Chains A and B, each alone.
Chain A
Amino acid sequence: MSNKTDKPWEYGDETKAVHAGSQPDPVTGARNTPIYQTTSYVFDDVEHAADLFNLQTFGFIYSRLTNPTVAVLEERMASLENGRASVCAASGHAAQFLTFFSLLEPGDHFIASRNLYGGSITQFGVSFKRLGWNCTFVDPTDPENFRNAVTPKTKAIFIEVLANPGGIVLDLEAISAVAQDVHVPLIVDNTLATPYLLQPMSWGADLVVHSTTKFLSGHGTSLGGVLIESGKFDWAADDKFPTMTQPDPAYHGLTFYETFGDFGFTMKARAVGLRDFGPSMSPANAFYTITAIESLPARMDRHVKNAIAVAEFLETHPKIKRVSYAGLKSSPYNDLANKYMPKGAGAVFSCELVGGYDAGVKLVEGVNLFSHLANVGDTRSLILHPASTTHRQLTDEQRDAAGAGANVIRLSIGQETAEDLIHDLDVGLSKV
């Protein structure tokens, strides 16, 4: 008698966006995911409590660690990214903190693309340094730059494949091959692409992080972050990852990789990282995000369609020097975008004005429909002048390297009527 069978039915991404993780409630049959707005959960008896605290059984203790509503979002994200498991956090930055806390010892090193969200550059380059975690930033357009920056202490490579806000697309497959060669996990911040447009794990990424605040929650309602693991990285192949393979003094000598196998990394991030630092996602934010993800495929299709229309308009405007959108045929990254993101290169891009810093200020203040604020991935169209806001803390060199120079405007194209967005920018540009 054999239990081997043909492969089970594979559900599509649109189905997963609606269903994954949210089977109806066992007691009430509630079809939609309830908001479990509770801090804590009763134990059956002392033995049950001990089993939960020792991680010997699955269950709930306290919402800093696990919550049934947040768990639905976690499973849904793990499913959409084709990963094994995930853990949510209070924000994208918190998810990055949990990731590196679970990977690094003081004195360790990682390599990051220099084309990242400005907040990540500051987090990695300044605040992480104070914890003894050292980051080297490299030009990511040549994958060999990552290999050349490897030191004996290097424990990870971190990239945004679709980078914020430079409009560039990295050669994910080639960078993934370098990470595999030097045996460190490749971490991809997939916020701007979302798993609907790009699934980095299909190209060899080991860990994916998101700010769920952006397209996933999608309506500008809810902060959140998530870390997803593929389950495929072999933490025990060498002695580089003692946080995973050695008994953990923060958990009575439990060895996370041996005990939890292919979901050991997110268990560690949860059981130690969330427990001891506390940046958990609230159940209400998880609920809004779960609801929003159900329409993610439809929203992303429209975001992409509008973004192409707006980018094509700007490309021909006399007051615009350059549009950096990988979805444009004129972009040097268009081939990579078509390879990795055939459904579209997202809806966040930047453009350079013919004028300088002042022209940028005039445009953000001269539009009416676009909201001037520091977020991306909203139903509403958003506009930002990075040099005077998100990238303010950086030096001119850092700003230029990150694609956020003085004349750069960042746009996040929303769900409105495309002609209205074009009209609004046209009026704004007339004031420049």
Chain B
Amino acid sequence: MSDALIYSDDSIRKILRSVKTIALVGASPKWVRPSSFVMKYLQGKGYRVIPVNPGHAGKEILGEMVYASLADIPHPFDMVDVFRSSEAAASVVDEVLALPASQRGKVIWMQLTVRNDEAATKAEQAGLAVIMDRCPKIEFGRLFGELGWSGVNSGIISSKRRKLGA
């Protein structure tokens, strides 16, 4: 593994404030799976989350139609959230880059433990922002004042009034 990944709070805040529709690759219909926790939480924060999972295409997860691939999603999305292995993340990036620029969004977000530096470089060269080895649910909670409620160290030191919600 190469250097530790460091993303500024501001850059993550900017992403979470700018995206509205998120394609979630590796969505599970089982509610106890982490992907389901993330999808439900992000829906609760006002994001539209489109589940992608070839094994469940045509069914619904949390009220949204499941698609077999990113290319099957019939409308544009702003971000791809990758719930796959680090190796499989490479093919997800290839899938994103194969889409027309108007369709594929501006951000590829790889979940906790998912990291593929080569794929990330490729995506960044194509003009996309890449976040790896982070969870958008945890980062949303951390940056917008909720994570500390569970005793987690947000790392935020500030005497400004806390703001809830993006």
**Residues on A facing B (Cβ under 8 Å):** 1-8, 11, 15-16, 19-21, 23-26, 29, 31, 48, 51, 54-60, 66, 68, 71-72, 74-75, 78-79, 83-88, 247, 252-255, 258-259, 261-263, 266-267, 270
Contact = CB atoms under 8 A, between A and B. Distances in A.
B145 to A, nearest CB: 6
Contacts of B113: 261
A107 to B, nearest CB: 27
B152 A78 contact: yes
Interface residues of B, number: 47
Contacts of B8: 3, 5, 8
Given A8-B9, A56-B40, A86-B151, A26 B163 contact: yes
Contacts of A255: 32
Interface in B102-131: 112-113, 124, 127-131
A429 B8 CA distance: 60
A258 B112 CA distance: 10
A358 to B, nearest CB: 48
B1 interface: no
B159 A57 contact: no
A5 B7 CA distance: 6
Interface in B43-101: 44
B138 to A, nearest CB: 8
A85 B155 CA distance: 11
Nearest to A57: B41
Nearest to B130: A3
Contact of A57 (B44, B128, B148): B44
Nearest to A85: B152
Given A29-B161, A58-B141, A84 B152 contact: yes
Contact of A23 (B9, B41, B124, B162): B162
Given A24-B160, A58-B141, 15 more contacts: A2-B124, A2-B129, A11-B157, A21-B148, A23-B156, A23-B158, A29-B161, A51-B44, A56-B37, A58-B150, A78-B152, A85-B152, A252-B32, A253-B32, A259-B32
Contact of B151 (A48, A71, A261): A71
6 contacts: A56-B36, A58-B147, A58-B149, A58-B150, A79-B155, A85-B153
A8 B31 CA distance: 36
Contact of B41 (A56, A71, A254): A56
Nearest to A6: B6
Contacts, number: 135
B154 A19 contact: no
Contact of B135 (A29, A75, A247, A261): A261
Contacts of B164: 26
A379 B130 CA distance: 51
Contacts of A266: 150-152
Nearest to B128: A1
A16 B154 CA distance: 12
B131 A3 contact: yes
B69 to A, nearest CB: 25
B32 A83 contact: no
Contacts of A254: 32
B12 interface: yes
A261 B112 contact: yes
A247 B32 contact: yes
Contact of B160 (A23, A84, A88): A23
B150 A270 contact: yes
Given A5-B8, A24-B159, A24-B161, A83 B34 contact: no
A115 B31 CA distance: 46
Contact of B150 (A6, A56, A252, A263): A263
B155 to A, nearest CB: 8
B162 A4 contact: no
B150 A267 contact: yes
B11 interface: yes
A78 B151 CA distance: 8
A72 B151 CA distance: 7
A270 B151 contact: yes
A85 B150 CA distance: 8
A9 B48 CA distance: 34
A1 B124 contact: yes
A258 B34 contact: yes
Given A3-B8, A51-B40, A255-B32, A87 B158 contact: no
Most A-side CB within 10 Å, residue of B7, B15, B32, B150: B150
Nearest to B150: A58
B49 to A, nearest CB: 13
Most A-side CB within 10 Å, residue of B32, B130, B141, B159: B32
A4 B5 contact: yes
A60 B151 CA distance: 12
A7 B6 CA distance: 7
Contacts of B130: 3
B147 A54 contact: no
A-B CB proximity, top 9 nearest:
A74-B151, A78-B153, A58-B146, A3-B11, A85-B152, A5-B8, A23-B162, A75-B148, A26-B162
Contacts of A29: 161
Most B-side CB within 10 Å, residue of A3, A19, A71, A262: A3
A79 B159 contact: no
